[in-house]
Chains A and B, each alone.
Chain A
């Protein structure tokens, strides 16, 4: 069987899913949260303000010396949402038509690589849907569909990190609020899918959550989630996580996950692989 047929099957079955309709609802929460900050600067905000807020994350632990719980809920929802949506597709397929397809295609490696490509395409779809949702929500709340940010909002948005109003360059903001979250999501999602071949999917998801929480505590490009936080991006903040280093680390995670998953899948007993 031609590999592209496998890929076509995965893209058709794996990208057109009802659950993706939840993405706008998921991103409605952070956008609603931003309203209070925007009211303080008496601005409707722009699309970029909203995207920055959705993938803002949290300043490194200890930066403000507070003893309160640091849990960037909106960021966890934005990043965790993608991991949640992508968690079960491979196993769903494997326990459904996947076994027949595997027999007919005669290649386990091809089947798994097709899932890898689907996984990354699904992350792209998630980010595109989130960007479109945020655009609609911004317009609904009376904001502007602009790529520039609102400089007066920066001190409130980058609380305890930046203290002066600043107008960032569009490319830096796109890098911090769109591209880096996408690359980090791809790495986390691929890692999660590969881990499903070693441990139960629920444990794999727990490991993803542990990585996200670790990213809250450790500012390092080696932790995949760190790159997805705009507040820590070296493109916007001095001394932040270098986007290049974070992207390189994420790329390594993607390649290693695909290679390790492929090797593991060659010897996995798919009949006993119950979810």
Chain B
């Protein structure tokens, strides 16, 4: 328990964690600027609307422009590509560094191999989740300052429909949907960060360890693209794109949750084998 506390503190109090958060927020800010330009262009239309309360016949809404939904934005596309790197940046490298410096062996002797690994995994998971989810949440709040909150109109400019993650909630209680999605992104980030353990202490430089989740998810995206090109459009199966609420194919709840569980299990099991069973024996 004490080692978990220590690991969590180390994971959230290091320059790489702050750097990942800053870069994530910078990308989110790019999306906010794009939203501002869109909102300015559409302001006459919005003001001329004859709408009552939160229902809008025209349907322009904050929830069309929020980062995970606004798929035509540069910020969104960039975020979709680099989020596995942002997830791994805060603490994905820590095992490699501590293993090379000998610190990991010291703590393993004192707390036990398994407990030490679990503490490290949880710290990597939490820090990765925070680094990915916080920019999304801040983007929502910043976009809310410049875009009107109206209930999204199902007829307008959004791909979410039947078969998408909590689509009913999106059109009825979008704030609840947005907060739930932030939670989902947290889990996605955490699970992806855990994939760093797959290489154990095998890489020489920590940058390569940090790029392991990115490389895996890009290759998986490539494999999914092959399937997509062959006409399979029924489900979004690329973990890289599942960080968006509106991927190109439906993302039902079970696909999103199964992807998170699979990624987390792969990271944990691979890490357990590498760290506990293989490298420390």
Q: How far is the CB of A123 from chain B (nearest CB, A)?
A: 19
Q: How far is the CB of A235 from chain B (nearest CB, A)?
A: 25
Q: Are B85 and A206 in contact (CB under 8 A)?
A: yes
Chain B 215-251: CB-based contact to A (< 8 A → 1; otherwise 0): 1001101110110011100000000010010111000
Contact A71–B80 (Cβ < 8 Å)? yes
- Chain B residues contacting A263 (CB-CB under 8 Å) are none
Q: Of A84, A92, A201, which is within 8 A of B215 by CB? A: A84
Nearest chain A CB to B226's CB is how many angstroms away?
5
Separation of A69 and B75 alpha carbons in the complex (Å): 12
A199 to chain B, nearest CB (A): 9
Nearest A-chain residue to B204, judged by Cβ = A92
B37 within 8 A of A: no
On whether the beta carbons of A67 and B157 are closer than 8 Å, the reply is: yes
Q: Could you tell me if A71 and B241 are in contact, using CB atoms closer than 8 angstroms?
A: yes
With A36-B229, A37-B229, A275-B207 known to touch, is A67 a contact of B23 (CB < 8 Å)?
A: no
Contact A29 B222 (CB under 8 A): yes
Q: Does A241 have its Cβ within 8 Å of any Cβ on chain B?
A: no
Q: Does B269 contact A (CB under 8 A)?
A: no
Is the Cβ of A91 less than 8 Å from the Cβ of B205?
yes
Size of the A side of the interface (Cβ < 8 Å), in residues, is: 42
Contact for B222 among A69, A77, A216, CB less than 8 A = A77
B74 touches A214 (CB 8 A): yes
* Chain A at the B interface: SS class: helix
**B248–A69 touching, CB < 8 Å:** yes
Give chain A nearest CB distance to B211 CB in angstroms: 7
Across the interface, which residues of A come within 8 angstroms of B36, CB to CB?
none
- Chain B contacts of A217 at CB under 8 A? 74, 77
Q: Is the CB of A88 within 8 A of B218?
A: no
- Shortest B179–chain A CB gap in Å is 23
Closest beta carbon of chain A to B60's beta carbon, Å: 14
Q: Give the secondary structure class of B's interface.
A: helix
A74 B210 Cβ-Cβ under 8 A: no
Give Cα A214 to B81, complex, Å. 12
Q: Which of A71, A80, A203, A212 contacts B19 (CB 8 A)?
A: A203
Interface residue A95 (Cβ < 8 Å from any Cβ of B): yes
In A8-59, the 8 Å CB interface with B consists of 26, 29-30, 32-37
Q: Is B143 an interface residue (CB 8 A)?
A: no
Q: Is B108 an interface residue (CB 8 A)?
A: no
Interchain CB contact under 8 A, B225 and A29: yes
B222 surroundings in chain A (CB, below 8 A): 29-30, 73-74, 77
A61 within 8 A of B: yes
A210 in the interface, Cβ–Cβ < 8 Å?
yes
Residues of A within 8 A of B211 (CB): 84, 87, 202, 205
The smallest C-beta distance from B201 to any residue of chain A, in angstroms, reads: 14
C-alpha gap A62/B226 in the complex (Å): 24
In the assembled complex, A200 has its CB within 8 A of some CB on chain B: yes
Interface string of A73-93 (1 = CB under 8 A from B): 110110010001001100110
B281 within 8 A of A: no
Given A88-B207, A200-B207, decide whether A70 and B89 contact each other with a Cβ distance below 8 A.
no
C-alpha spacing A95/B230, complex, angstroms: 46
Bound-state CA distance A37–B225 (Å) is 13
Chain A CB within 8 A of B139 CB: no
Tell me whether A69 and B223 are in contact (CB under 8 A).
no
A68 within 8 A of B: yes
Instruction: Indicate if the CB atoms of B225 and A33 lie closer than 8 Å.
Output: yes
A70 touches B218 (CB 8 A): no
CB distance from A203 to the nearest CB of B (A): 7
Instruction: Tell me which residues across on chain B come within 8 A of A37, comparing CB atoms.
Output: 229
In the complex the two chains form, what is the Cα distance from A33 to B228 in whole Å?
Answer: 8
Q: Which partner residue on chain B sits nearest A31 by CB separation?
A: B226
Contact B74 A213 (CB under 8 A): yes
Q: Is B77 in contact with A205, judged by CB distance below 8 angstroms?
A: no
Write out the residue numbers on chain B whose beta carbons fall within 8 Å of the beta carbon of A88. 204-205, 207-208
Given contacts A62-B72, A68-B248, A213-B74, 6 further A-B contacts (CB under 8 A): A29-B225, A73-B218, A80-B218, A205-B211, A206-B85, A209-B78
Question: Which residue numbers of A lie inside 8 Å of B, CB to CB?
Answer: 26, 29-30, 32-37, 61-62, 67-71, 73-74, 76-77, 80, 84, 87-88, 91-92, 95-96, 200-203, 205-206, 209-210, 212-214, 216-217, 275
Pairs across A and B, CB under 8 Å, 13 listed: A26-B219, A69-B76, A69-B247, A69-B248, A70-B77, A71-B80, A76-B218, A87-B208, A88-B205, A202-B207, A205-B211, A213-B81, A214-B74
